[in-house]
Chains A and B, each alone.
Chain A
Amino acid sequence: MAASTEPTNNEQMNIVFVGHVDHGKSTVVGRLLAETGSLPDGKLEQIQARCERESQPFEYAYLIDALKEEQAQSITIDAARVFFHSNKRHYIIIDAPGHIEFIKNMVTGASRAEAAVLVIDAKEGVQENSRRHGYLLWMLGIRQIVVLINKMDLVDFDEGVFKNIVADYQQFLDELGIKPMFYIPVSGIQGANIAVHNEDTAWYQSETLLDALDSFQKASPPVDLPFRMPVQDIYKFTQYGDSRRIVAGSVSSGKLAIGDRVIFYPSGKVSTINSFEAFAAEQPGEVMSGSATGFTLTKQIYIQRGEIASKVDEQPPYVSKRLRVSLVWLGQKPMVPQKQYHLKLGTAKVRCTIEHIDKIIDASDYSSTEKDRIEHHDVAQCVLLLHAPIACDLSESLADTSRFVIVDDYEIRGGGIVLEALPDEGSQIREAIFLRERKWIDSAVSMYQRSERYNQRSCLIIVTGTEESRRKEVAHQLEKSLFQSGKFVYFLGIGSVIYGVDADLKLFAATDDPQEHMRRLAEIAHIFIDAGLILIVTAREIDQADLNLIRSSIGNERVEVVWNGSRVTTDINPDFQIDDDDDLNTSVTSIKGLLMEHGVIFAP
């Protein structure tokens, strides 16, 4: 076999080799390298000599299994990468382990692949990991698949054996809706149908493995889909004399140009692209999926890492606290309800628990069972309840922003895709807030300009506590004290709202709706904050649901919660707690200390 000549283009493709343990993946890859002349000079001889020295039969697999540990055990432990090229293009071959203990390494390998080669032993037929790997390829989003029926030499190159295995495996794949591009009978050891046809399989005249690899298509970047960019960071390198405020991230789909209006989720904040920034390169006027980019905005808005940027005139992502997902669990300890985990999706990270396990899919035979826990290597469909809403997409429409991992005890223990975003208690109000943000008509003077003029950062201070606590006294004293220090501050009593703005609810509505009272209070606060003021309100025993509602309306960073009394009687975690027995002035001074620490007011 003549060595492949260097392809003229720079095209590169990542291919993962998967399949059950001992079905011969590494041998096939080693053979492929040898037959395309892709080994460094002397490598083959070096390994052959070592085998001879150690009285071991030479195996092509040793070329790949470069690690001593692996050679000792004769199994691939990690997904090693091997570079090689055909006449058509360059390849990175990811040789994924088939041993069941190393599923996490198979996932790592397959996550980086654009196409997959799944190897099945002709003698053993379809095994547990043949199916599990097939399922994982589907979940990981790999759609270009070739199935090799390997070790045909062990079954005398019998066409009947080949056809039976193909039928058996295709029946399984049909359930997932996967149709491999080719089934190829091969022998890694003898080199049959790897790069050239073999007379022992004269009945097979279709593509060799090498032909099949070259027939894979480079996936076209998803530029025609809605624009998405998970925000990685907001850079402001003022310490290096750089005053640009750059929103940085990698575009996962669609495209974005200067002048486009962007909306960030879950905050719903809206602004317009002012420029794309670059170092040692021309500043682009437009970026598209794949670009690691950064832009400045015409109007400064408060956004943070974890949000997803989208375009105002395109389909928005979903925002929810409840997600129906498909996931694979790789932790030794099972994933159980009640326990708290972290979910990472895009650049967001949020605490989560299992709300409900719909079903566990036994990947080994694709039957489903009902269990109350997700065990090591189980594939499950379940509903996750998040601690705070996040933005995401569904796997059927935008794959990248539907993918997540589960972190437990510092480690990634599972991963999956979002199938459905379910309604939660805040859905309706969030819709109203998103609409408000899109429709908001800016004042001619921005909140940031006011902030600078008034020398304060506008916010809402909620003074809360039990019925007996002296909330109003504290609030009034704080208002006076801030006013005396030259701050622009206003106290708004809850009664003033109930009998004013809320008069319709209080007096005329059939049922009084506490959530609607809270929504209106948040809207009032939102206006005060935009006007640059510090607003102080009192409320009895505010709880987490109330706080979530207020925060989603005016932003996490704009709310300060002070609890009066020695014991917090609701489920909130206040920013500050004061004792009712303390001297009023002492309490107010310490609250002002907190406000300084949080950058609301500044030290004189």
Chain B
Amino acid sequence: MDHLQELENISVYIFREAYANFKNLGMLWSMGKDSTVLLWLARKAFYGHVPFPLIHIDTHFKIPEMIEYRDRIVREWKINMIVGSNEQALENKQTFPDGAIDRISCCQLLKTEALRGVLTGDGVRYRFNHALGEYQREENPEPFTGVIVGARADEEGSRSKERYFSPRDRQNEWHIAEQPPEFWNQYKTDFAPGTNVRIHPLLDWTEINIWEYIEREKIPTVSLYYNQGEGTRYRSLGCYPCTFPVNSEARNVREIIEELKTGRFSKIAEREGRAQDKEDGGGLESLRREGYM
């Protein structure tokens, strides 16, 4: 069995454990390559279906191609799609760079805080209505008890400390020193009322594995990852004020894999183009303790 197949098997197992154990299960989808692989793996695990909602935290600063891509896939694959934002922060213009706050605070408000609202059900949720073809505000949203997330251990330091099933407390916070043990393939599938569990099926995947799997499975990805002739592409996707394209000639998946393995990126960190990481002391730890994805 080759390595990609091993990774797929473990991820599928984790998906099925999550689905069997969490009644209110959701999955974060940022339309990036990792969470799109995650979505594909869900369809592998459940034979073409995605039997739980996908959640997108829309900061309203996403690159427009990402939103177009999202809604196209939602229609084609009949996804149960939920979109949530921190509407108050957006209204009050507590955003970077136009508001008087820094990058980290902007992330905290538009991502961490928005996510907390959507997960607990306190925040506003919009659900895609396939009959009408539009998003509608959801009445009486129920809290999620299990959330599937596409974090990978090789992305940055704090993510390498995650469990496959990682608890978050009532405030959605992560207590790194008090994580439960994971024996073999037994995970934390029991949880106290009010708490939730983050589930990480991609923990063992590397950036190259992700691209190799996209190539093998022919998974549709957003065009921003590829050089369209300008000599630049995005290596990691986020909000436009804080995410910058890298210089690259790679026009397709194969060329990206080559570039990562032997080319100019083989020694440069993936999130190099993500400005918020650098403001957090070289890692995302403070953000992630408070619930950042």
Q: Which residues of A contact B (CB under 8 A)?
A: 6, 10-12, 40-41, 46, 66-69, 77-83, 90, 92, 104-105, 107-108, 111-112, 140, 221, 232-233, 235, 237, 240, 242, 244, 246, 248-250, 277-281, 290-292, 294, 305, 330, 342, 344, 347, 400, 403-405, 407, 410-412, 415
Contacts and interface: CB of A to CB of B under 8 A. Distances in A.
Contacts of A12: 3
A410 B190 contact: yes
A403 B156 CA distance: 32
Given A107-B181, A242-B49, A280-B44, A403 B16 contact: no
A294 B12 CA distance: 11
Interface in B264-290: 267-269, 281-283, 285
A10 B180 CA distance: 31
B161 A403 contact: no
Interface of B: 1-4, 6, 8-10, 12-13, 16-17, 19-20, 40, 43-49, 51, 78, 153-154, 156-158, 160-161, 163, 176-177, 179-186, 188, 190-192, 204, 206, 217, 261-262, 267-269, 281-283, 285
B181 A105 contact: yes
B183 A244 contact: no
A104 B160 contact: no
Given A237-B49, A249-B16, A290-B9, 17 more contacts: A6-B262, A12-B3, A67-B176, A78-B177, A81-B153, A81-B204, A108-B181, A233-B19, A242-B48, A242-B49, A279-B44, A280-B40, A280-B44, A292-B12, A292-B16, A403-B183, A412-B180
A104 B157 CA distance: 20
5 contacts: A77-B161, A81-B154, A81-B204, A246-B47, A412-B188
Q: Nearest 4 A-B pairs (CB), nearest first?
A: A66-B157, A104-B181, A415-B183, A292-B12
Contacts of B158: 66-67
Q: Is the contact region of chain A dominated by helix, strand, or loop, or is it mixed?
A: mixed
A242 B269 CA distance: 43
B20 A347 contact: yes
B261 A6 contact: yes
A415 B19 CA distance: 23
A415 B282 contact: no
Contacts of A246: 47
Contacts of B190: 342, 407, 410-411
Max chain A C-beta neighbours (<10 A), residue from B10, B40, B267: B267
Contact of B1 (A221, A233, A344, A407): A221
Contacts of B49: 237, 240, 242
A405 B186 contact: yes
Nearest to B181: A104
Contacts of A83: 154, 206
A345 B19 CA distance: 18
B3 A233 contact: no
Contacts of A342: 190
B91 to A, nearest CB: 34
Contacts of B6: 290
Contacts of A407: 190
Contacts of A77: 161, 176-177
Nearest to A345: B186
A404 B3 contact: no
A244 B47 contact: yes
B281 A412 contact: no
